[in-house]
Amino acid sequence: MELFINTLSENICSIRIYELLNICIQIFNALIPEMEPGIVFIIIFTDENGKNKQYNYLLDNNTIELENYIINIYNSSVNTHTLYIIKEYYNDYKNRSLIDYKHYLEHLPYPACHALILHRQNFFKSEKYLILSIVKKYGLLIGLLDNYRIEEIDIKEIVLAAVSNDGHVLRFVPEKFIDDRKIVLAAVNNSGIALQYASTELRGDREIVLAAIKNDPDAIHYTSKEFKEDKQIILNVINKNGLLLYYASEQLQNDREIILAAIKNNGKALQFASAEFKRDREIVLAAIKNDPDAFQYASQEFIEDKKIILNMVNKNGSSLFYASIQLRNDREIILAAIKNNGSALQFASNKLKGDRDIVLVAVRQNGNTLQFASNELKRDKEIVLVAVKKNGEALLYASYKLKGYKEIVLTAVNENGHALRYASNELKRDKEIVLVAVKKNCEALLYASDELKEDKEIVLAAYY
């Protein structure tokens, strides 16, 4: 039987096998002239069904499967057979088998990988396996490899492995690779915005651009002009992030379908629409429906539009900030705003800040809105009681006189012990009030009178 032994690109040798005794030794003896330090032979042969099988062999590997295969072909009716040999380089100073070496590299942590790359003066062909294993896990470490340190190695496979792990490392690779379509495609499939490091030509490649924005729509920022003028691409991008309307061409920023799609995703995209659409009632309503704060980008004329302002404050009371002076004096609008957010009272007219019914609604929603009420209402016992019941520290905003009312202060400290801080000096000496305060919050003891700070019952209540 004649056995041809080839690499994928060249014939190594052919051997005649006359007997099965030590057949693997015959094969490996034929290969010895081809051996270099750290080479693993990956032997590929074809089974009886015509399917390729692949096995890794070192000279010290178990060769049972290879022996069985040779026996089968030896006994077959075919006299000529071919084995293809792939040479895989690795170098391990501790002389571990490839299996053990792979296991070692798979479990090597980042600091150790970093040190391995950083402290080597040079890398040789037999260390390609080491570098590949590292960058497949930590692509960023390719940035530590200088060209002159790996000059003996064909590094395209290494670069491809690195960008597949972390697309951003495209910025560290030798310049010739930023124009390599396969490498750039792998990079943007991992991180769309790695497109920024590609060559100008590849930033104009449709397949690469589509892959990049599919991974991360922000990649539209780094594409060539033609893609920012492409309606379908811009629609795809803004449906994922409306604010990317910023990168659309001027013509598309004036396209109604594009604008509606963008603001439905993010109302604040209205800022990038043309002036015409900022005056468009349907567009503005759609924008504030998504985000009331988008109103800041609408035409100034809408600050007088009651329907739009009402729609807006029902979603976010603080949006009352954008209303005209006239609408800040509109009872219906103010009530809608403070029901959503009591703090919106700060944007109401002075007249409505003095409206008892309105302030009661506000403090029921948020006790601290007492600070925005008129001075007269800060002296109103019922309003202050409602406020401190909701938020004890609203006592800060009560009139001086009401800070000395036991009922009000007791209600405040029962909600938040820290409210004792704002009580009158007289009530800071009231044992009942201080006891309630320190039981609620031990730090309230800081605000008690000096005499009560030494009171055993109060100290025990505070800390035990």
The domain boundary, picked from 262, 283, 298, lies at 298
Do 307 and 235 belong together in one domain? no
Q: Is residue 460 part of a domain?
A: yes
Neighbours of 37 (CB within 10 A): 10
Q: What is the pLDDT of residue 92?
A: 67
Q: What is the pLDDT of residue 357?
A: 95
Q: What is the pLDDT of residue 337?
A: 96
Beta bridge partners of 11: 6
Do 336 and 405 belong together in one domain? no
Q: What is the pLDDT of residue 58?
A: 43
Out of 115-124, 131-140, 158-167, 295-304, pick the least confident.
115-124
Do 340 and 361 belong together in one domain? no
Q: What is the pLDDT of residue 134?
A: 87
The domain boundary, picked from 281, 298, 315, lies at 298
84-98 mean pLDDT: 60
- Winning range, highest mean pLDDT, from 140-144, 159-163, 186-190: 186-190
- Residue 305 φ/ψ, nearest 5 degrees: -90, 105
Out of 146-150, 235-239, 452-456, pick the least confident.
146-150
Do 404 and 358 belong together in one domain? yes
51-59 mean pLDDT: 50
Do 376 and 463 belong together in one domain? yes
Q: What is the pLDDT of residue 126?
A: 60
The domain boundary, picked from 256, 273, 298, lies at 298
Q: What is the pLDDT of residues 363-403, one digit of tens each?
A: 999 999 999 999 999 999 999 999 999 999 999 999 999 99
Q: Is residue 218 part of a domain?
A: no
338-343 mean pLDDT: 94
Label residue 199 by pLDDT band (50, 70, 90).
very high
Report the predicted TM-score, pTM, of the whole model to 2 decimal places.
0.63
Do 359 and 413 belong together in one domain? yes
Q: Is residue 236 part of a domain?
A: yes
Do 436 and 392 belong together in one domain? yes
Q: What is the pLDDT of residue 382?
A: 96
Say if residue 441's pLDDT is above 90: yes
CA 327 → CA 93, 133, 252, 288, 334, distances in Å?
Answer: 81, 67, 35, 17, 8
Angle at 317 between CA 316 and CA 321, to 5 degrees: 105
Greater pLDDT, 398 or 42: 398
Q: Is residue 436 part of a domain?
A: yes
Do 348 and 360 belong together in one domain? no
Neighbours of 249 (CB within 10 A): 17
Q: What is the pLDDT of residue 21?
A: 57
Do 340 and 246 belong together in one domain? no
Mean pLDDT of all residues in the chain? Answer: 84
Q: Distance between CA atoms of 26 and 28, rounded to whole angstroms?
A: 6
Domain limits for position 337: 301-353
Do residues 4 and 80 make contact, with C-beta atoms less than 8 angstroms apart?
A: yes
CA 443 → CA 420, 439, 461, distances in Å?
Answer: 10, 10, 11
User: What dihedral do alpha carbons 147, 148, 154, 157 form, nearest 10°?
Assistant: -30
Label residue 252 by pLDDT band (50, 70, 90).
very high
Q: What is the pLDDT of residue 113?
A: 87
Say if residue 120's pLDDT is above 80: no
Q: What is the pLDDT of residue 59?
A: 40
279 contacts: CB under 8 Å, gap ≥ 6? 298, 299, 301
Neighbours of 100 (CB within 10 A): 12
Q: What is the pLDDT of residue 148?
A: 46
Q: Is residue 452 part of a domain?
A: yes
Q: Is residue 207 part of a domain?
A: no
Q: What is the pLDDT of residues 171-195, one digit of tens each?
A: 988 888 999 999 999 999 999 999 9
Do residues 442 and 418 make contact, with C-beta atoms less than 8 angstroms apart?
A: no
Q: What is the pLDDT of residues 300-309, one digit of tens each?
A: 999 999 999 9
Q: Distance between CA atoms of 141 and 105, rounded to whole angstroms?
A: 14
Out of 43-47, 261-265, 413-417, pick the least confident.
43-47
Do 261 and 344 belong together in one domain? no
Label residue 238 by pLDDT band (50, 70, 90).
very high
Q: What is the pLDDT of residue 144?
A: 81
Label residue 60 by pLDDT band (50, 70, 90).
very low
76 contacts: CB under 8 Å, gap ≥ 6? none
Q: Is residue 133 part of a domain?
A: no
Out of 17-31, 110-124, 175-189, 326-340, pick the least confident.
17-31
Look at the chain and count its residues: 464
Neighbours of 386 (CB within 10 A): 20
Do 346 and 242 belong together in one domain? no
Do 361 and 424 belong together in one domain? yes
Q: Distance between CA atoms of 242 and 260, rounded to whole angstroms?
A: 9
Q: What is the pLDDT of residue 8?
A: 45
Q: Distance between CA atoms of 108 and 151, rounded to whole angstroms?
A: 25
Say if residue 233's pLDDT is above 50: yes
Out of 167-171, 270-274, 407-411, 459-463, pick the least confident.
459-463
Q: Which residue has the tokens 């690795």?
A: 90
CA 139 → CA 100, 131, 178, 422, distances in Å?
Answer: 22, 10, 16, 59
Q: Is residue 57 part of a domain?
A: yes
Q: What is the pLDDT of residue 464?
A: 80
| Number of structural domains the chain divides into | 4
Q: What is the pLDDT of residue 131?
A: 81
